[in-house]
Chains A and B, each alone.
Chain A
Amino acid sequence: AQSVTQLDSHVSVSEGTPVLLRCNYSSSYSPSLFWYVQHPNKGLQLLLKYTSAATLVKGINGFEAEFKKSETSFHLTKPSAHMSDAAEYFCVVVTSGTYKYIFGTGTRLKVLA
């Protein structure tokens, strides 16, 4: 069975410093993985997705994630945080067969001025 674990429920960074949001997955096959961002009282916006092409995936707004099979990780990074990055971030793995989304519990990113 597929699962995903977001290792930090809250992350605080200063504006202009790097962002690292951690995600580990469990899957018996090559997974499809996504990162979504949700700003307060908004829907989910797709940041990026991994579907077995390049292991380094570039997304919108300067975010990127690296798929590491040996570590079963798909961590989200950004070189320099902006105040507008403050939001909830969800890592998602897709189940085989039913193609359902399995969401992580989310990481709330706080950006300090």
Chain B
Amino acid sequence: DTEVTQTPKHLVMGMTNKKSLKCEQHMGHRAMYWYKQKAKKPPELMFVYSYEKLSINESVPSRFSPECPNSSLLNLHLHALQPEDSALYLCASSQDHRKETQYFGPGTRLLVL
């Protein structure tokens, strides 16, 4: 099973709201990733967690706050977002950060009004 699940599928939020995106995998993977994808563009890496510790932050604004409560779960907390943050947010996982094959979830389509 190479399934990564993400909830919710769609999210609409105002600029003053606080919301969270959730990602889950049960493949025993120890690396998890958040990507942001704008329309007609490739995904852009935001964060990497390795063994539940943040290992890479690609200079992402602090209004995005990742959290890895355990090895199966990855959250992305959103606060005071801007309309330009509207995008598809993809989660991925890999066996560990040095094992290169990443498996992607279906994404959360976020609209910030």
Interface residues of A (CB under 8 A from B): 32, 34, 36, 41-46, 49, 51, 90, 94, 98-101, 103-106
- Top 5 closest pairs, chain A to chain B, by CB: A103-B42, A44-B104, A43-B104, A43-B106, A94-B100
The answer to whether B43 touches A99, judged by C-beta atoms less than 8 angstroms apart, is no
Kindly state whether residue B64 has any CB partner on chain A within 8 Å: no
A45 to B105, CA, bound (A): 9
Give A105 to B40 CA distance when docked, in angstroms: 9
Question: Which residue from A44, A94, A106 sits with its C-beta under 8 Å from B90?
Answer: A44
Q: How large is the interface on B (under 10, 10 to 19, 20 to 34, 35 or more residues)?
A: 20 to 34
Residues of A near B41 (CB, < 8 A) are 105-106
Question: How far is B31's CA from A94's CA once the two chains are assembled, in angstroms?
Answer: 15
Q: Which residue from chain B places its CB closest to the CB of A98 in the assembled complex? A: B56
Count, A-B residue pairs, CB within 8 A: 48
Residues of B near any A CB (own CB < 8 A): 2, 4, 6, 40-43, 45, 48, 56, 88, 90, 92, 97-98, 100-107, 109
Q: Which residue of chain A is the closest to B48 with respect to CB atoms?
A: A100
Least CB separation from A6: chain B residue: B42
Asked if A90 and B42 make an inter-chain contact with CB atoms under 8 angstroms apart, the answer reads yes
Chain A residues, CB < 8 A from B104: 36, 43-45
Residues from chain A with Cβ under 8 Å of B92 in the complex = 44
A104 touches B42 (CB 8 A): yes
Chain B residues with CB below 8 A from A106, complex form: 40-42
B101 touches A34 (CB 8 A): yes
User: How many angstroms between the C-alpha atoms of A106 and B44 in the bound complex?
Assistant: 13
For A90, list chain B residues within 8 Å (CB): 42
